[in-house]
Amino acid sequence: MQLLKDRILSEGVAVNEDILRVDGFINHQVDPELMTKIGETIAEHFKDRQVTKVVTIESSGISPALFTAKELGVPMIILKKQPSKVLNDELYHTMITSYTKGTNYELTLSSRFVNENDHVLIVDDFLANGETATGAIRLLRMAHATVAGVGILIEKSFQPGRDKLERAGIEVFSLVRIGALGRDNIEFI
């Protein structure tokens, strides 16, 4: 998506060889015009897949997921992060390890919102190691839902997320794929 590439080139900052800062337009200050276009583009790609729900992970995935869900005319569901296991019969939960943030957390989904009739599109801002997306898929499978695919704004293709998902038979649609990051250097694929 050229619009997102241009924005990354003009406002994104490669903090080091692993991390791209996009807090001016995606995950701290959010540009609604850009998010509208992002939602339209992801929805257009998945429009014929009979998606019944869009699922994202709090917090940065919420904006693009909401705009995508609006375009598809379906609800958006936020997977919640819990600091520790919350004992609640209604919740499916799974442990996620974030290599980027160096944290473990419990991700949860209420059984009230997804069931065996759902075909779910997962939307998130970054794809790095694929731990978040594979955790989201585990939760959806616990709810007996099927997965239509994963829509990503920025894929860091030098990290193993895409491979991990594709090996599990999941389609990954990324608006932008980054092959390498370095000081003053952002290489797109």
Q: Which of 173, 126, 127 is nearest to 150 (CA)?
A: 173
Question: What DSSP assignment string belongs to 1-40?
Answer: -HHHHHHHHHH-EE-SSS-EE-TTTTSSS--HHHHHHHHH
Residue whose pair of structure tokens reads 């794809």 in the numeric block: 127
Q: Which is nearer to ligand G4P, 100 or 111 (CB)?
A: 100
**Per CB under 6 A, which of residues 19..48 are in contact with ligand G4P?**
19-22, 27
Q: Which stretch binds ligand G4P (CB under 6 A): 17-25, 30-38, 87-95, 109-117?
A: 17-25
Name which of 57 and 137 has its Cβ closer to ligand G4P. Answer: 57
Among the listed residues 130, 143, 162, 165, the single contact to ligand G4P using CB under 6 A: 130
Q: Does 12 bind ligand G4P (CB under 6 A)?
A: no
Which residues, 79 to 98, sit near ligand G4P by CB under 6 A?
Answer: 98
Does 131 help bind ligand G4P (rule: CB under 6 A)?
A: yes
β-pair partners for 82: 106
Which chain residues interact with ligand G4P by CB under 6 A?
A: 19-22, 27, 57, 59-60, 98-101, 125-132, 156, 161
